[in-house]
Structure 1
Amino acid sequence: MIAIIAVAGLGKVAFAEGDTASKKTIILGTSADFPPYEFHKIIQGKDEIVGFDVQIAKQIAADMNANLVIKDISFDSLLPALDSGRVDFIISGMNPTPERKKSIDFSDIYYDGKQSIMVRAEDKNKYKTMDTLKGAKIGVQKSSLQEEIGQTIEGANLTSLDKISDILIQLQTKRIDAAIMEEPVAKASLTDNTAIAKAVPVTDINGYAVGVKKGNPELLDQINKTVARLTKENKVQEYVDEASSLVNGQQKKLDTFSFFWKYKTYYAAGIKYTLLLSVLGVIFGFVIGLFIALLRMNRIAVLRWVGMAYIEVLRGTPMLLQLFIIHYGLAISLGINFTALESGIITLSINSSAYLAEIFRAGIQGVDRGQMEAARSLGMTHTQSFKTIILPQAIKSVLPAIGNEFITIIKESSIVSFIGVADLMFQTQVVRGLTFAALNPLIIAGIIYFILTFGLSKLLGLLERKLRTSDIH
């Protein structure tokens, strides 16, 4: 499990001497579903990201005389964020393995944590040694030390997932037999139906350290000073105890409606971003798609080939891959740093434009050629004929397909949660991590998505009927 602190230019920009008013901003990025390291908690009516790693991050920021801003990012996206220069150092459950040391530098160890095996309560005595796990179905967090440990277990069938909450659901629903977790995480996640087995994973690497991108010794030096101070003052264990006490009492069973009402602010914020992404994605996709459709039908072979290549590449590659290339690839290779929201809008727009281009092409080619000839015979130019006669009819005929693309974008916009955009799916995952509820957050998200898409479908139906009526009259 990784949390990230991003410091834009920290270590490269010096503070003015004696200037404490104008502080540098330090951005902490984390996948906050990892209690007691980092997790969401409602405190005095407000959602906050807390945990002992967050406390350590605050101390690092304080020692740097910097303001700390926390951003919750999908676990899989944390390391790319470091590589692309969007973040400057990593903290939280990062074990300094030899393989990782080839890619990044590590600070001194700030916490020694043990590994454990979580099982269902009825299986507690079944797994007494690591040998009893041979051939078992084991859940681990993706790209973690636990995944490496699982790979060493003979015949083990690993299920690697991003979030601890997903691993717990796999355990509860009997899709896996056991899960490998850090001991503090396992203790924080215990319920009446789960237990920590007697089997203890064997590993030489238990300590956690702060990871820093290579080539930043000044920042690493500063972090080591903070780690040394906290270790000397025995502050880290104090933070662990405080965070563990905050975890207690998070689980509370509610019916679906009560659950929604309690966490409605999360869903409302998610709906706002989902609609924003979808609307802008379709608008920009409409404009780009129409342009690409014209290239696709152009008489000039080179332009026609460009249009075809654009469509085939975007339709032939996953949208998630396109998102990562735009958000991280451009930053790494060209230094173009879009915000997460900008990257999401761009990805949805260009992906949608490839499909809309083919929809427009079909609509334009579906208009009878005689209409163009009739318009030209009346003295209209080719451009005037296309704009006033052909295009309106084409759009009218493909309106249902355009509506379907809009509905598809609403659902596919959920991929932006991987880079930290707080859309509906992202907020659903936040609520799952906050409550440890397996089903209710997903049911509510599903209902909301259905309401959005069903409502849009009905509005498009009304528009189609209105256009048909105008044709009759």
Structure 2
Amino acid sequence: MLRLKRIIPMLMALLMLTLALYPGHGQANAQSASSTDEKRTLTIGLSPDFAPYEFLMTVDGKSKVVGSDVMIAEEIAKDMGAELVIREMSFDSLIPALQSGRIDMIISGMTPTDERRQNVDFSDLYYTSRQVILTRSEDVDKYKTMDALQGEQIGVQTGSIQEEIANGIPDAQVTAVKTISDVVSLLSSDRVNAAVFEGPVAEAQVKNRPGIAIAEAVPEDSDTPMAIAVQKGNTELVNEINVTLERLRATNAVDGFIQQANELNSGETAPSNIFSFFWKYRGFYADGVKYTLLLSALGVLFGFLIGLLIALLRLSSVKILKWIAITYIEVLRGTPMLVQLLIIHFGLASAFDIKFSVLQSGIITLSLNSSAYLAEIFRAGIQNVDKGQMEAARSLGMPRGMAMRTIIIPQAIKGVLPAIGNEFVVIIKESSIVSFIGVADLMFQANAVRTLTYSGLYPLVIAAGIYLIMTLILSKLLNVLERRLSAGDSR
């Protein structure tokens, strides 16, 4: 067994180095829009599942965000003399990201509602769209008026203006999900009977997905304006954006951008065979596996170290240390990991200006959450070691710390290795939660392929298969380690 006294400082140094080496992945530049550096950057946030405004295309074998909103952002950046940086995230994460300074502006087909204006400022309007009702082709004649939607099951995207419209339909059963692809999947699988969509977005879905159509029913106040959101009080950036929008309006350029985006948005022809599908998009999954393994490995490593420390505090005879450990364990085990992730990524940035990159936030969240469970596993293992061994070590003049480090802890870890292995497997699976804030892990890439191909099944089945392979390999390795450690126990 490696000596913990030597390895712990090395691993903690590795933690600091890792967090320092990954500052850029998904991290917005806090000074980007007001930087005085030679090359100014403009960081925008968007949800790239909203064709024709923003969506994914394969360019030279890699995914690229394109669309009319991206074209507008490029014009704004050009007028500002700035380099455009695009951050992809779920729609309902955009405003928290803006408020925490991780992005400079949101251009994602966002409607400037009164509620949103309380939290962010908006530019002038750059486009006005209409809202429509999307349904299955066989039901298209069923919904000729909005009255026909009363009491129906309706799907919408979380945090969108469409969710507000659906909630205003009497007795409607509204199901809100993260992405447009998920909304269409609900509709196609008969889980909802209709969905509220932006007109151009609905047309893109009808164009690329068989079996769905736009109904005759039109929501009240169907015309919906769009504007660009910036941080509250950032009038300088708003003014710069408005200068570009005024130029684009004068030439009807936005309509031209939408037409160009519609021409691009033909959907990729995905292979009908799942193996061919995987091979075509293997690059996406390979990139996702890299980040998933990195997150899982570091989450497990630092969760192990922190958990061991908390377990020792939990067993301490010093009451204050014991209660600190108990509080730590109960808080982290008693709150959802998603909430912890949002607090670390958005909450700390908003309240204390502590801005971790998305990768750093993911590693910290997984490490802390895992450590709480591992702490209890370690505590059970330590308490299961015969107390006589500690007494024997002390009687030989060995200090308590040395006895714990060289005798008790190695035996405790050996005894609870199966439980530790189960926690490691859980971490690999739960690492998918970091896709919520934009880490390009396996789940993030699977959703990217879903958006790219308009395929609802294959991308998720392939992702599930890859997760299964990774967890099986880990389980086998842990079984081998357990057998090797148990080799000397035969009597």
Provide structure 1 residue ranges, at least 5 long, that are not aligned to the other structure: 16-21
Choose the corresponding residue for 2:280, options 262, 265, 272: 262
Aligned to 1:223, which of 241, 249, 255?
A: 241
What is the alpha-carbon distance in structure 1 between the residues aligned to residue 319 and residue 395 of structure 2?
Answer: 28
Tell me the residue number matched to 1:406.
424
Q: Is the 8 A contact 2:267 2:454 kept in 1?
A: no
Pick from 36, 51, 73: which aligns with 2:52? Answer: 36
1:9 Cα deviation after fit:
2.4
| Aligned counterpart for 1:351 among listed residues 369, 383, 391 | 369
The residue type paired with residue 94 of structure 1 is M
Provide Cα deviations, 1:70-96, integer angstroms capped at 9, x if missing partner: 221122211110111112221121111
Question: How far off its partner does 1:205 sit?
Answer: 5.2
Residue aligning to 1:66: 82
2:303 aligned with 1:292, yes or no? Answer: no
Alpha-carbon distance in structure 2 between the residues aligned to 1:184 and 1:401: 51
Q: Distance in 2 between matches of 1:66 and 1:240?
A: 23
Match of 1:117 in 2: 133
Residue of structure 1 in register with 2:123 after alignment: 107
Q: Is contact 2:45-2:107 (8 Å) kept?
A: no
Q: CA deviation at 1:350?
A: 0.6
C-alpha contact 1:296 1:307 (8 A) present in aligned 2 = yes
Q: What is the alpha-carbon distance in structure 2 between the residues aligned to residue 13 and residue 387 of structure 1?
A: 50
Rounded to whole Å, the distance in 1 between the matches of 2:43 and 2:99 is 15
In the alignment, what sits opposite 1:421?
439
Q: Is the 8 A contact 2:290 2:441 kept in 1?
A: yes
**What secondary structure sits across from 1:268 in the alignment?**
helix
Identify the match of residue 197 of structure 1 among 215, 222, 236.
Answer: 215
Cα distance, 1:232 vs. partner? 0.8
Shift of 1:399: 0.8
- Letter paired with 1:59: E
Q: Choose 368-377 or 172-181, whichever is displaced more.
A: 368-377
Q: Which deviates more from structure 2 when the two are superposed, residues 380-389 or residues 363-372?
A: 380-389
Q: 1:350 to 1:416 in 2, by over 3 A?
A: same
For residues 387 and 374 of structure 2, the distance between their equivalents in structure 1, rounded to whole angstroms, comes to 22
Give me the CA root mean square deviation: 1.6
For structure 2, the 5+ residue unaligned runs are: 1-25
Cα distance in 2 between the residues matched to 1:7 and 1:396: 45
Question: How many residues are aligned here?
Answer: 464
Amino acid at match of 1:53: D
Aligned residue for 2:30? 8
Tell me the equivalent position of 1:308.
326
Aligned to 1:274: 292
8 Å contact 2:366–2:427 — kept in the other structure?
A: yes
Distance 2:320 2:60 in 1: 62
* Residues 85-134 of structure 1: per-residue CA shift (max 9 Å, x gap): 11222112111112222222211110111111111111111111111111
Q: Match for residue 392 of structure 1?
A: 410
Q: Does 1:137 align with 2:164?
A: no
Structure 2 Cα separation of the partners of residues 221 and 371 of structure 1: 73
2 CA distance for matches of 1:342 and 1:91? 25
Answering whether residue 359 of structure 2 is matched by residue 341 of structure 1, we say: yes
Which residue does 2:20 correspond to in 1?
Answer: none
Cα deviation for residue 14 of structure 1 reads: 4.2
Cα shift at 1:7: 6.1
Q: Offset at 1:10?
A: 4.6
> Any idea what the Cα deviations from partners look like across 1:403-432, whole Å, max 9, x if unmatched?
111000000001100111011111111111
CA–CA distance in structure 1, aligned partners of residues 313 and 254 of structure 2: 61
Match of 1:27 among 31, 40, 43: 43
Residues 144 and 79 of structure 1, relative CA distance in 2, 3 Å threshold: same
Deviation of 1:233 (Å): 1.5
Structure 1: distance between partners of 2:426 and 2:27: 34
The SS at the match of 1:138 is strand
Q: Structure 1 counterpart of 2:172, which letter?
A: A
**Which is further off, 403-412 or 380-389?**
380-389
AA at the equivalent of 2:120: I
Q: Secondary structure at the match of 2:174?
A: strand
1:47-62 map, 5 Å: 47-62=63-78
Please say if residues 95 and 205 of structure 1, whose CA atoms lie closer than 8 Å, have aligned partners that are also in contact.
no
Structure-2-length-normalised TM-score:
0.92
Percent of aligned pairs with the same residue?
Answer: 57
Secondary structure, counterpart of 1:385 in structure 2: helix
Give the conservation status (yes or no) of the 8 Å contact 2:156–2:175: yes
Counterpart for residue 458 of structure 2:
440
